[in-house]
Amino acid sequence: MRVTLDPFAAPAEGRIPLHGGDGGLWSARLDWTCRDARLDARILAVDPIPLPEPEPSEAVPNALARIVAAVRGQRALVLLANPAAALGAERIALAEGVRLFSIASEADLACWDRALTLGVPAYGVRGTLGCDLFNPTPANVLSALGFGAFTCEEGLTPDEFVEDPHGVRWRLPEAGSAAVVVRGGFEAQRFVGAAGEWRDTGSEAYVRVEFATARGRCWTQPRFIAPRRSGHGG
């Protein structure tokens, strides 16, 4: 079953509706003024959990570390809603343990690609999130978000998006473009049309795809690519 949600749909604390699913995810906002910058974090969880209080004298990385420690083992995820303002690309590696980054600007996108280039398993959040689940419970939705098994959609849902160990293929509801993005946020190839396929070379580090048509846009989550060993069989 297909489930969609808007992780910013809840108030400061409340439930995020799961459209096509059962119930909702609990969410709370931590909007803190830290010593070095403002930190805007959202907690997504199956059930309400106790959260730490702000400490204005600490820096953003320390605050994030406390938040991540507080939710560990609680069936919860941390969503960093302002990665560029809170840390910036040069410090984004300090967001250790944060699995979700909001992508609201090109600067946020640069933070995400920098984290991915460093091998950080972080997933982008933009627009409506869509995931396909056999059992659409809040726990399974949270698991899908934590493992990057979802797409970010702004008016566009691919008719087909299939990943395998060697690449991806897709089919869109109408002709458009598909940009394949790899290590460092580099656009490795752009496809034009309603369908396409990308096969890994082994040097990408990660692969994600950005789709665009007249209907809107869609972002996939990264596939981390293990480098291929060069050698001679024996």
Integer Cα distance of 191 and 213 in angstroms: 12
Of 94, 129, 146, which residue sits at a domain end?
Answer: 146
**Whether residues 181 and 88 fall in one domain:** no
Do 37 and 139 share a domain, yes or no?
A: yes
Q: Which residues of 115-138 are buried (b: 16+ CB within 10 A; e: fewer)?
A: bbbeebebbbbbbbbbbebeebeb
* CATH number for the domain harbouring residue 197: 2.60.40
Nearest Cα residue to 71 out of 97, 40, 37: 97
Whether 80 and 65 have beta carbons less than 8 Å apart is answered as no
How confident is the prediction along the chain (234 residues), in pLDDT tens digits per residue? 999 999 998 878 899 999 998 889 999 999 999 999 999 999 999 999 999 999 999 999 999 999 999 999 999 999 999 999 999 999 999 999 999 999 999 999 999 999 999 999 999 999 999 999 999 999 999 999 999 999 999 999 999 999 998 999 999 999 999 999 999 999 999 999 999 999 999 999 999 999 999 999 999 999 999 876 655 443
- pLDDT reported for residue 228: 65
Whether residues 186 and 70 share a domain: the answer is no
Pairwise CA distance, residues 95 & 91, whole Å: 8
Which residue, among 208, 14, 5, has the nearest Cα to 113 in the 3D structure? 208
Q: Which residue, 183, 188, 194, is CA-closest to 158?
A: 194
Distance CA 47, CA 100 (A): 18
- Residue 140 and residue 171 share a domain: no
Residue-range definition of the domain harbouring residue 184:
155-224
Domain boundary among 84, 112, 146: 146
Is residue 233, in this structure, part of any structural domain at all?
Answer: no
pLDDT at 229: 64
Task: Give the end of a domain, one of 102, 120, 146.
Answer: 146
pLDDT of residue 233: 46
Please tell me the predicted confidence (pLDDT) of residue 234: 38
Reference 191, options 173, 210, 206, 204; nearest CA is 210
| pTM (two decimals) | 0.93
